[in-house]
Chain A
Amino acid sequence: MNIAVCVKQIPDPAVPGELDPESHTLHRVGKLILDESDSFGVEMALQLADKAGGGDVTLISMAPNNEVSGLRTALAMGAAKAVLVSDPALAGSDALSTAKVLAQAITRAGDVDLVLTATESTDGYTGTVPNQIAQLLGWPSLTFAKHVEVEDGKLTIRRQTEAGYDVVESSLPAVVSVTAGVVEPRYPSFKGIMAAKNKPVDQCTVADLGLSSDDVGWSGARQEITNVAAAPAREAGEKVEDDGSAHERIVAFLEALKVI
């Protein structure tokens, strides 16, 4: 079973992020790392391929400047190869443009039975890309999977809900977004790290995917960020001096919040 995993390479979340003052979009300069939320999909894919008794795990990524450092982490975990779309024309792409590029990259990878994604990226978090990819490919979309199984060509997931989970079945091929915690990602081994740099990374441009640069990036964006404002500072809480009636004030406060 061949599995494609969409992985995003993002600026290290430990470093405070910066917005470009002109475009209000995230600055993506310097080294990028594998989005931690994608490591769950990579691990799930490796386990599913292993259980199916074979098949390749292919990484699908779109990043500026042919950035591969995040891909290397996932290749070191055991993914076989990667398709990396990098093109100056992609700057400013909105979620739908991103989905178009990723869907085309999945098609380019060829012979894919299952696509895994995270539920959303850690730096952009629109949460819409997985569904858009499925729609563009014309495949079923299954979301928020906390458990994934493939048996006799049938896909079964447990879809996380507020109360518990729904069991959802689908035929293959399909697109599944997995939650953090679907599986525990492995640590890359030294052997894996050494092998990763020799694994094939298919670097391609927008034109290579048969897309027009008018459909992506700033020119293709259907959304525009008009303004960005700092989150309001947290206001000081209310202090209650206890004159014997403090408990009533607390109860009233909690009632107002509909906690009790």
Chain B
Amino acid sequence: MRFAFTDDQLAFRDAVRDLLDRECPPAVVRDAWTNDTGRSGAAWAHLADMGVLGALASEAHGGLGLTLVDLVLVLEETGYAALPEPIVEHAAVTVPILEDSTAAAAGRVTVTAALDGSGLAPWADTAELIVLPGETGAAVLARADVALDRRESVDGARRLFAVHPRAGPQAVRPALGAFERGALGAAAQLLGLNERMLDLTVAYVAERRQFGVPVGSFQAVKHHLADARLGLEFARPLVYRAAWSLTHGDPDAAVHVSMAKAQASDAARLTGRQALQCHGAIGYSFEYDLHLYLKRAWALAATWGDARWHRAQIGQTLGLPSGSA
């Protein structure tokens, strides 16, 4: 087994990085805190044209028939940009569930989901379809057939809604590992957010001077950032492994996903704390960009199972008594 990304997979990542660099700079994320939709505007349509939204759909349904291994680096980039869009819910979680994903693959309809156990669906007020847990699988509902109740989120650019289905038609579809794909997608985005916070902080401590030298030259600051880098690089292979396991139907895939999500969540939270510490007071200001990424990291660390929940899952498979995680 050659466990390295192919040239195509790296080219997909580079193309999406370039797209988001232009279409989703910090100003777009900041705008999503207060604009009408809470979303990015142009970036979503460009991602649809590029083929990202339908990457996992079959070619017969307007997709590319790609796998989570193809998509994982792309999702990481959407984390790096803190893309204010339900891309994990749409491209990773629900496109493989839908009976006909043609419209979703083309970006004509946006799909979100409340499948992470919280009962909340992000960006549900602008999604055409909302997928909820049903008794026998996943229930696909049109937005007109649900009542939405806005909930507070720490991340203002990731609007959350409690979803209450009204009586109406429900297409029930097999859930097909939706939760694992969601947890993997969030873990991948957390890697990207982690990288972004490190980049911002390294740039800041190289520029900010105190006692006549850049504060990044102080050993205590270096240690903080080295710890953050270490956590990120330990989480990264777990996320890639989990993507491979889900793609290839590894019987331990769920455990691998739990390892990935637990480690990626902890690593991003650690980096967030170090980033805030190294920035000093400016890191707390709303006008500075760090919080856009820090709050997304906090929000995603708590979704699709937090680190403690996933560690408990791993513990169970090892036969450890519950509560020991």
Chain A contacts to B: CB under 8 angstroms: 72, 76, 186-191, 193-194, 197
> Would you give the shortest CB distance from A205 to chain B, in whole angstroms?
25
Contacts beyond the supplied A188-B15, A188-B50, A193-B15: 17 A-B pairs with Cβ under 8 Å: A186-B49, A187-B18, A187-B46, A187-B50, A189-B50, A190-B12, A190-B15, A190-B50, A190-B51, A190-B52, A190-B66, A191-B51, A193-B8, A193-B11, A193-B12, A194-B8, A197-B7
B residues in contact with A193, CB < 8 Å: 8, 11-12, 15
User: In the complex the two chains form, what is the Cα distance from A176 to B12 in whole Å?
Assistant: 32
A residues in contact with B11, CB < 8 Å: 72, 76, 193
> Would you give the shortest CB distance from A78 to chain B, in whole angstroms?
13
B residues in contact with A190, CB < 8 Å: 12, 15, 50-52, 55, 64, 66
User: In the complex the two chains form, what is the Cα distance from A189 to B16 in whole Å?
Assistant: 9
A residues in contact with B18, CB < 8 Å: 187
Check A189–B8 contact: CB distance below 8 A. Answer: no
A–B complex contacts, Cβ < 8 Å, 7 sampled: A187-B46, A189-B50, A190-B15, A191-B51, A193-B11, A193-B15, A194-B8
A-B pairs with lowest CB-CB distance, top 4 = A190-B51, A193-B11, A189-B51, A189-B50
Secondary structure at the A interface, as helix, strand, loop or mixed, is: helix
> Would you give the shortest CB distance from A70 to chain B, in whole angstroms?
12
Q: Which residue of B lies closest to A196 (CB)?
A: B11
User: In the complex the two chains form, what is the Cα distance from A207 to B49 in whole Å?
Assistant: 42
> Would you give the shortest CB distance from B83 to chain A, in whole angstroms?
15
B residues in contact with A72, CB < 8 Å: 11
> Would you give the shortest CB distance from B106 to chain A, in whole angstroms?
12
Among B8, B46, B50, B64, residue most surrounded by chain A Cβ atoms (within 10 Å): B50
A residues in contact with B66, CB < 8 Å: 190
Given contacts A193-B8, A194-B8, contact A187 B51 (CB under 8 A): no
Check A76–B51 contact: CB distance below 8 A. Answer: no
A residues in contact with B50, CB < 8 Å: 187-190
Check B49–A189 contact: CB distance below 8 A. Answer: yes
Q: Hey, what's the 0/1 contact readout for B27-54 against A, CB within 8 Å counting as 1?
A: 0000000000000000000100111100
Check B49–A187 contact: CB distance below 8 A. Answer: yes
Q: Which residue of B lies closest to A72 (CB)?
A: B11
Among B15, B19, B52, residue most surrounded by chain A Cβ atoms (within 10 Å): B15
Check A76–B15 contact: CB distance below 8 A. Answer: yes
User: In the complex the two chains form, what is the Cα distance from A193 to B19 in whole Å?
Assistant: 14
A residues in contact with B19, CB < 8 Å: 187
User: In the complex the two chains form, what is the Cα distance from A190 to B19 in whole Å?
Assistant: 12
Q: Which residue of A lies closest to B19 (CB)?
A: A187
User: In the complex the two chains form, what is the Cα distance from A197 to B8 in whole Å?
Assistant: 9
> Would you give the shortest CB distance from B55 to chain A, in whole angstroms?
7
> Would you give the shortest CB distance from B170 to chain A, in whole angstroms?
32
Q: Hey, what's the 0/1 contact readout for B49-90 against A, CB within 8 Å counting as 1?
A: 111100100000000101000000000000000000000000
> Would you give the shortest CB distance from A230 to chain B, in whole angstroms?
21
User: In the complex the two chains form, what is the Cα distance from A186 to B11 in whole Å?
Assistant: 15
B residues in contact with A188, CB < 8 Å: 15, 50
User: In the complex the two chains form, what is the Cα distance from A252 to B57 in whole Å?
Assistant: 68
> Would you give the shortest CB distance from A50 to chain B, in whole angstroms?
16
